[in-house]
A and B are shown apart, each in its own frame.
Chain A
Amino acid sequence: MTTVAAVVPRRPLRDRLGTPWLVVRRLLAVPIVMFFLASAVFVAMRLLPGSPATSLAAGGASGDTSAAALRENEAQINEALGLDKSLAHQYGSFLSDIVHLDLGTSFYGGNSIRTLLGGALPATIELTVAAMLIAVLLGMVTGVIAALRKDTWIDNLTRSVGTVSFSLPWFALGVLAIVIFGVWLQWLPIIGRMPSALDYRPTTNFVLLDAILQDRPELIWPWFQHLILPATTLALSMAGFITRIVRASVLEVLGDDFVRTARMKGLSGGQILRRHVLRNSSLPIVTVLGLQFGSLLGGSVITETVFSYPGVGNMLVNAILQRDYPVVQGAALAIALLFTLVNVATDLLYLVLDPRLRKA
């Protein structure tokens, strides 16, 4: 600690080079992570009982098709899809396709996975980012309030609600939200991402971006309405978690010596909170955000299914049921990439927030 501190001021150039290098290093790790993930998904899919050919053949068969005919049908399908080749061969071509950014085509309907992801990934990013924003906002506010009102009924209430909210499973929350706000109160739409009556032709498939690019502000409000329930459903459990982390972290920072220094300076409580406590107590929250984003993505699979939201999670569930290997692989890779990138981003956010980490 002290030796490093002594060296840094003497070598400002290296100090300045250090941070971009850290960024590059983190980004270089992404392909490696992706390789292992892709391999794991490939193996996992092959280990699942059942095969695409079985489901496809059964789907096309009528009741009186003989078992022999079914088997022959399956063999044809396997050959057509390349599934008759050895596993090693399939793995090799799978990897080489990924390197060429070719994710293949769906066994059903023959759509390219890139097209499918182009539609679904933006929807999932919107959902998870919205959920994250809601969770952070809710969690920070309640966590700070709980910390400042430590051991009062406000603190106890906030913590209890937080605990309950992160104990509730997503599907239960989702169904509850649908019943209350969609069916009983009829305040909000509960299905899909956009009203089917609305004529929306995606450019980027990020609605907010498209609304600007296409100069169609009327897209925003229905999109926003559709986003509220699934995003909040997804956010609540994370918010409860953040509340607890923020409370603990704020309490810890409040006891730090530099907060006493801030009081000594004559700052008001609000000034101390804004200028000294929040930033320092946000460090552990950022770590949690990155890790929790993984469970948020897991939750989005469930939430998207409950709300029939056309995202990657929904796509993944359907593809698994149909043993649509390329789609599962593509969707899983997309989710993994998203998770990895978010974690790189949180690592970088760390550097922004804590100057002590800004050296190689």
Chain B
Amino acid sequence: MTDRTEPRRAQVGDGRDGEGREGMSLIQGDSQPLLSIRGLKVEFDVPGGRLPAVGGIDLDLGHGEVLALVGESGSGKSALAMSLVGLNRGPRTHISGVAALNGQDLVAKSEDQLRKVRGKDIAVVFQDALAALNPTQKVGTQIAEMIRTHQRVTRKRAWERAVELLREVGIANPEQRAKTYPHQLSGGMRQRVMIAIGLANEPAVLIADEPTTALDVTIQAQVLRLLKRLQTDHGTTVVLITHDLGVVAEVADRVAVMYAGRIVEQGTRDQVLFAPQHPYTRALLSSVPRIDGPAQERLPAIAGSPLSGVDRPSGCAFAPRCTFAHDACNSAQPALIHRYGMPGQLDACVLGPDREKVAVS
């Protein structure tokens, strides 16, 4: 696990209690969800069989909310998000299930149909902006290309809009910056350019795939605040893929914790961070240093390692690493339902309420 070596802020559960999130009940409200995922599976052909990267997921996304997909590397969070826009489609990928954006199933769409959705209704902000931007094109050109792909505007108008977008993402002197190449910008500015590309067509959904991982800690905070501000201003729904619980604490409305291709816990940010139900979530949280916690020599680590092979146990995937696993855990795949958590909080652990112990151990 890289989690422990990476610099991280310590505001996870640092005492500020959540100032009542208005967004938390959007899903339970009467409005139709913007994006509705049912039974989504993503499998990759690998030597030795099919790797179930995403193993049947149900998830709803409301208008204008920030959903954090949290999990270790290989937990399937990126595979899930990329399958929405079909960016991981290929001869070795099998995607099944339903992902309906405003009632239109994205999984069933052909590549040509999906192309009209990409960049327009759903856009992605990638992790490493230096690699994700074309090194031989001016950044203005790359933003304008996004605009002209989906809007019938002149080259000049698209360029002007690109400059406006650069200004909006907080880049000083945008007229000049638009004419520079990615390598001439700092890491933070490149990520801002990436965000400008993502927002160029005012998409309904913005997938931010570890948007701050490649940045310095101070820059991370700036970029996160920018992302949050733009999300609020434009009412964009954001799917935030991250393994950084500090990031979750800062910007997420709701959280879905993934383990081995499944969601093991889901709830509002405060429910998941302050009243975690699933042993995995608890273990994850206890492996994060807390500024108000006792000074510890070593942070607790989760024993064992995540599932990586093609074979999955018939029961709970976390059971082999879980301190509290017992026979019931291995009999069947636990469903993600409301159990002992707070209202609206879902988890996939068959153990009784006494799994409280996990947090203290």
Contacts and interface: CB of A to CB of B under 8 A. Distances in A.
A261 B87 CA distance: 9
B153 to A, nearest CB: 15
Contact of A261 (B116, B134, B180): B134
Contacts of B261: none
B132 A266 contact: no
A47 interface: no
Nearest to B200: A265
A355 B135 contact: yes
A85 interface: no
A86 B264 CA distance: 92
A89 interface: no
A2 B190 CA distance: 12
A266 B126 contact: no
Interface residues of A, number: 27
Contact of B136 (A1, A257, A262, A354): A354
Contact of A264 (B119, B128, B135): B119
For this complex, into which size category does the number of interface residues on chain B fall? 20 to 34
A265 B183 contact: no
Interface in B112-139: 115-120, 123-124, 126, 128, 131-137
B115 A266 contact: yes
A260 B146 CA distance: 13
Interface string A270-313: 01000110011000000000000000000000000000000000
For the complex of A and B, 9 pairs with smallest distance between CB atoms: A257-B131, A266-B119, A266-B118, A265-B119, A355-B181, A258-B134, A257-B132, A264-B124, A266-B115
Nearest to A283: B136
B150 interface: yes
B46 interface: no
Contact of B118 (A9, A263, A354): A263
24 contacts: A2-B186, A5-B183, A5-B185, A8-B184, A9-B176, A9-B180, A9-B184, A258-B132, A258-B134, A258-B135, A261-B197, A262-B134, A263-B87, A264-B118, A264-B124, A265-B145, A266-B117, A266-B150, A268-B115, A275-B137, A275-B145, A276-B134, A276-B137, A279-B136
B126 A267 contact: no
Contacts of B180: 9
A92 B150 CA distance: 70
Contacts of B133: 258, 261
A264 B149 contact: no
Contacts of A263: 87, 118
A81 to B, nearest CB: 56
Interface in A5-23: 5-6, 8-9
A266 B149 CA distance: 7
B155 to A, nearest CB: 13
A261 B133 CA distance: 7
A263 B187 CA distance: 22
Nearest to B187: A2
Given A258-B131, A266-B120, 6 more contacts: A5-B184, A260-B87, A261-B134, A264-B124, A264-B126, A276-B137
A174 to B, nearest CB: 39
B208 to A, nearest CB: 12
B85 interface: yes
Interface in A315-360: 353-356
Q: Which of A5, A257, A266, A280 has the largest count of B CB atoms less than 10 A from its CB?
A: A266
Nearest to A282: B136
A353 B131 CA distance: 17
A267 B124 CA distance: 14
Interface in A103-150: none
A256 interface: yes
A233 B5 CA distance: 60
Contacts of A262: 134
Contacts of A275: 137, 145
